[in-house]
Chain A
Amino acid sequence: MSSKATAALVGVLTLALYSGLSMAADPYQLNLQEPQTIIARQTYDQHTMVLWVCLVIFIGVFGTMFYSVLKHRKDKGYKAANFHHSTTVEIIWTTIPFFILIGMAYPATKTVIAMKDTSSPDITIKTTGYQWKWGYDYLTGEGEGISFLSSLSTPRAQLENREPKGENYLLEVDNPVVVPINKKIRILLTSNDVIHAWWVPAFGVKQDAIPGFIRDTWFTAEKPGIYRGQCAELCGKEHGYMPIVVEAVEPEKYTQWVAEQTKKSAVAAVDVNKVYTMDELKAEGENVYAANCVACHQANGKGIPGTFAALDGSKVATGPKADHINIVMNGKTGTAMAAFKHLSDVQIAAVVTYERNAWGNTTGDVVQPSEIIELRK
């Protein structure tokens, strides 16, 4: 019987839904990720509650309907009744859902208010979306001044099926965000180019990063661990390749990490007035190019015709140096070319030098970091 098959299907599907509630992340995970913050836990519980309410209503309505489908059939000789309205019944089934909805909205309202309360954080991190990576600046609290970019670390070869895929395929980055547990972390979000969204499911946090505007959200991680998320707003061709990794650690370990980072940036603060050789700049430039430019302009510098401009033999990369530096630093409005001011002086100098002397480009120009410093003034 057709209706029985359908009923059986529902049974199996609903059973499948509920048997999955307690599972951890696995290929057959059926529910939200295991919550790690108070907001995520409230969300999880509300979802479970709403799902049960829906299931009860579903069984009520379709139990009735399928009973009717089985019994009130012409081929069973059932004669049709002729009733067509009942004001009482209609008032009842308009009112009852109203109260059920109030029951759902009440806990949700409390959570929404809590989600929006970003006041008195222990640490504030500014998060900037770039096509296609995240930038983090620790603004206040322990770790103030730390600043780095975080991009996908899965090798291209895995994406293109030339190598077996690793365990955290597409969910791994070079520099994860490190935060201490049990501290309120406020995330300020903005973007450098298009709209992105910063999403860590285990924290119940998802907030769009909008160019020209600042939005904020917060979380307090409860236990140490590595939590993975992804950009959740279509942001162009590499949208699927800008993951977020948050490493929550014990406060002591965090202090340690902060010390390491500070030391590292002291080492990295090289003498910008140093005069680099062409080879040094080209070597560094190639790395910068691979991290920032290759997605659009491609490894061979040919771009993608019609979408992303070629650099090999292009007017900009072989024309006046100043125009080339300008477009790298400030972008070009109306195109996908974003501003890359956030790169360091050395990086900008290196990548411009590289682009002017790679592939078929042989300008012989060397751009020194000091020139970039001059331009920034």
Chain B
Amino acid sequence: MAAVHDHDIAHAHDHHPTGMMRWLTTTNHKDIGSMYLWFSFVMFLTGGVMALTIRAELFMPGIQIVNPEFFNQLTTMHGLVMVFGAIMPAFVGFANWQIPMMIGAPDMAFARMNNWSFWLLIPAALLLIASFFVPGGAAAGGWTIYPPLSVQMGMGMDMAIFALHIMGAASIMGSINIITTILNMRAPGMTLMKMPLFVWTWLITAYLLVMAMPVLAGAITMLLTDRNFGTNFFNAAGGGDPVMFQHIFWFFGHPEVYIMILPAFGIVSEIIPTFARKPLFGYSSMVYATASIAILSCIVWAHHMFSAGMPVTGQLFFMYATMLIAIPTGVKVFNWTATMWRGSMTFETPMLFAIGFIFLFTIGGFSGVICAIVPIDIQVQDTYYVIAHFHYVLVSGALFSIFGGVYYWLPKWTGHMYDETLGKTHFWLSMFFFNLAFFVQHFLGLAGMPRRVPDYALQFADFNMISSIGAFGFGFSQLLFLYVVLKCIRGGEKAPAKPWEGAKTLEWTLPSPAPYHSFETPPVVR
């Protein structure tokens, strides 16, 4: 602890460079956290524009706005940008801002590597976006980039692969930093089982990242050499196997799903007790449930491949293992409900988003159990049902928790209260339009509309139109979020150190806005 905190560093905040150099060279966890969050928001809007173009094309049957090959580029890039550009960096932004403050540390363990892992994201994002403008356009094989289709693409695919390599390296560095910070820099007295749940979920997520990202790197490197150097890892004609790519990809891909949802569980587990004014119910079972989900997430990958063809034992194993995940996930939902039970609740914007999260994430969880059941999955695999399912867990799951977290901690970050009325409006607009956009997609999928198609049979027309209206409503509602955040940064009612009556964690003992170096002397936790 003390080693990190010598006299010079304590006063560095008076002398940091200004302007662009401040952001390029900063090693401060708050600056880097802010950059992660802004980066993520820009990518969120970029991916959102792609999503709205997709929904505009699907507004009516027939080809109106984009041609099929560009449509495939949009669906692919929407997935990659949202997963690797928007959701993951947003959670790393939260980790940067919150973990040092919540464990009573002055900064992250590896401050310079922290800077590097953020700035790596910029060339990666540029590669991704620039790939639209090269001959052949961006990657168009779906975000899962299955060969042999991805072998057919132009250089846009190679650019996407490099972008993923770089983002993977950035994530691994970020994760190592987070693990080291959490394990070594906690305030005296903060044992592991006294850590805030957000810190716990990030610790587990970071381990998942360190495990999963190299697997992705391996898969896409093999793809790269198959594409450019004549290897045959995934080419049956040369003795390879295209299905092997799917196994390797999903061995990364399924833990990745939990990488995007475990920190969300953490944020919600901070918000609910605060606004219920009551301690989190079943803290230790929450920790064990998180760990169980993480472990189970590593042995369920082939449930993404039930229609690829597997031995019957394989299908049964992956079905059973997948269904088991419902148990720890259920425990979490029950615990949140029990936390709210007999609390003294108020419903500020963070609480609304947290409750919205539980409500809609549970719908996504249920459709997850339905997808786990092999015969049903055979019917809904690669249909709009799956699209509805994963948007319920990723948008109303991960993204809603991000919104909740931003509103929850904005007073601490900016020193001002956000506009509560506008915040609540943002929530209700998001809630309404999200469901309008995605609930009907369950019906489309069940009735037989495949995903990743630019056009569809006439019986799907009405629900697609409803879904597109919902998507546009949801997209434009997010501009309100941007306005609320900007307004809060620029001014507003002065925030006290602890604006939320029920908040218990360490960051609320610091003044608002939090000082440049969080804890100059470590607090003592009893």
Contacts and interface: CB of A to CB of B under 8 A. Distances in A.
Given A32-B379, A33-B448, A2 B345 contact: no
A54 B282 contact: no
B39 to A, nearest CB: 29
Chain B, interface size category, equals 35 or more
Nearest to A30: B443
Contacts of B72: 234, 236-237, 239
B373 A194 contact: no
B323 A101 contact: yes
A171 to B, nearest CB: 5
A74 interface: yes
Contact of A72 (B142, B309, B344, B447): B344
Nearest to A213: B236
Interface of A: 2, 6, 9, 13, 20, 25-33, 39-40, 42-43, 46-47, 50-51, 54, 57-58, 61-62, 64-65, 68-69, 72-75, 78-86, 89-90, 93-94, 97-98, 101, 104-105, 108-109, 111-113, 115-116, 158-161, 165, 167-171, 193-195, 197, 199, 201, 204-208, 210-213, 215, 229-241, 304-307, 333-336
B344 A54 contact: no
Given A2-B347, A58-B362, A61-B362, A235 B149 contact: yes
Contacts of B333: 61
5 contacts: A13-B439, A72-B345, A85-B285, A213-B241, A240-B454
B137 A306 contact: yes
B81 interface: no
Given A28-B462, A237-B72, A159 B319 contact: no
A239 B141 CA distance: 11
A262 B460 CA distance: 38
Interface in B244-272: none
Nearest to A162: B62
A97 B376 CA distance: 20
A159 B375 contact: no
Given A94-B331, A112-B319, A236 B458 contact: no
B447 A29 contact: yes
A13 B392 CA distance: 15
B337 interface: yes
Contacts of A101: 323-324, 326-327, 369
B interface secondary structure, majority: helix
Interface in B140-171: 140-142, 146, 148-149, 151-152, 154
Contacts of A210: 236, 242-243, 308-309
Interface string B51-68: 000000000011110011
Contacts, number: 314
Interface in B303-350: 307-309, 312, 315-316, 319-320, 323-324, 326-327, 330-331, 333-334, 337-338, 340-347
B61 to A, nearest CB: 6
Contact of B61 (A9, A20, A169): A169
A109 B61 contact: no
A239 B452 contact: yes
Q: Which A-B residue pairs are the 10 nearest by beta carbons?
A: A212-B236, A306-B135, A240-B453, A80-B344, A215-B309, A306-B136, A81-B342, A84-B279, A54-B366, A43-B375
B281 A84 contact: yes
Contacts of A238: 68
A151 to B, nearest CB: 16
A86 B362 CA distance: 23
Nearest to A100: B326
A236 B69 CA distance: 8
A75 B342 contact: no
Given A47-B376, A165-B61, A195-B146, A305 B135 contact: yes
A108 B443 contact: no
Contacts of B376: 43, 46-47, 50, 108
B151 A334 contact: yes
Given A31-B447, A72-B340, A195-B148, A85 B136 contact: no
A171 B457 contact: yes
Given A64-B337, A72-B343, A306-B136, A97 B283 contact: no
Interface stretch (B351-359, B411-419, B506-514): B351-359
A109 B316 contact: yes
Contact of B373 (A2, A50, A64, A240): A50
Nearest to B228: A334
